Amino acid sequence: MLYPYGFSYFDPTIFILIPAVLLTLYAQSKVNSSFAKYLRVPARKGYSGAQVARMILDQNGLQDIPVEMATGHLSDHYDPTKRVLRLSGNVYQGRSIASVSVAAHEAGHAIQHSRGYVPLSVRNIVFPVAKFGSSAAWGFIIIGLLIPAFGVLMDIGILLFAAAVVFQIITLPVEFNASRRALALLESNGFIYTDEARGAKSVLNAAALTYVAAMASGISQLIRLILIRNRRR
């Protein structure tokens, strides 16, 4: 039920989101602080992020995948549709532990793609539906909430939102696997010294935490929407 609060209404299901919101804030703070910290720590072998990515790709038979510099902060990604690896300026040009760690992680995604890593393949299939769901879901949900006669639209919105949550869940093993590959590649190829692995792991773990937080936020919101729908019925 909705409880009056001044001229608006208070929805108690909002409390479901609080743990996920706190985790998201912590994860964002952690990734920013960890990246900033190790961006200032030079990797003693002296390789740049672009060089590390290029060498990892070449060693795995992926000479046809270009490494490009992207705009924006922490905008690093591998695009499986265009088969191109893009690194932000600090990573592409940087020679820090953070730079080579992020570059190796993104190269890990390219290796996943080339070897048909199943979770990545599933994520790529789900992505179009999840993208549409994340953008269209709230329109259906709001109309269903405001106009009881169109309550079925809320069900459709929840299903679309659920597709986006499924995408977030599938993303976790993909990201964790890419990070494990990155650490192994950095050490086995001599891109970092053994005592620098701790810093690389810190950067990659902090980044992974943001995906955990996104999944927790999505699941919490989905549960909340289902409770609101059931209560209205």
Q: Burial, 88: exposed, middle or buried (Cβ in 10 Å; 0-12, 13-18, 19+)?
A: buried
User: To the nearest 10°, the Cα dihedral for 122, 77, 27, 23?
Assistant: -30
Task: Please enumerate in sequence order all residues whose Cβ is within 8 A of that of 7, keeping only pairs 6 or more positions apart, or say none.
Answer: none
Q: Which tens digits make up the pLDDT trace of 186-222? A: 999 999 999 999 999 999 999 999 999 999 999 999 9
Question: Is the distance from CB of 100 to CB of 43 less than 8 angstroms?
Answer: yes
Q: pLDDT per residue over 139-191, tens digit each?
A: 999 998 888 888 899 999 999 999 999 999 999 999 999 999 999 999 999 99
Domain boundaries, the chain: 17-232
Q: Give the model's pLDDT for residue 2.
A: 38
> Among all chains, which residue has been given the structure tokens 């109309």?
143
108: β partners? none
Distance CA 61, CA 138 (A): 43
53 neighbors 37 (Cβ within 8 angstroms): no
As a whole number of angstroms, the distance between CA 87 and CA 68 comes to: 6
pLDDT tens-digit map of 7-50? 345 578 889 999 999 999 999 999 999 999 999 999 999 999 99
pLDDT given at position 9:
52
Confidence label for 231 from pLDDT (cuts 50, 70 and 90) = confident
Rg (CA), the chain: 21
* Confidence band of 233 (pLDDT split at 50, 70, 90): low
pLDDT band at 6 (very low <50, low <70, confident <90, very high): very low
Average the pLDDT over 45-65 and give the result: 97
Runs of H (alpha helix) within 41-96: 49-59, 89-92
- Given 68, 106, 187, 196, which residue is catalytic? 106
Please give the Cα distance from 113 to 80 (Å, whole number): 7
Nearest alpha carbon to residue 59 among 173, 184, 176: 184
Active site residue 196: no
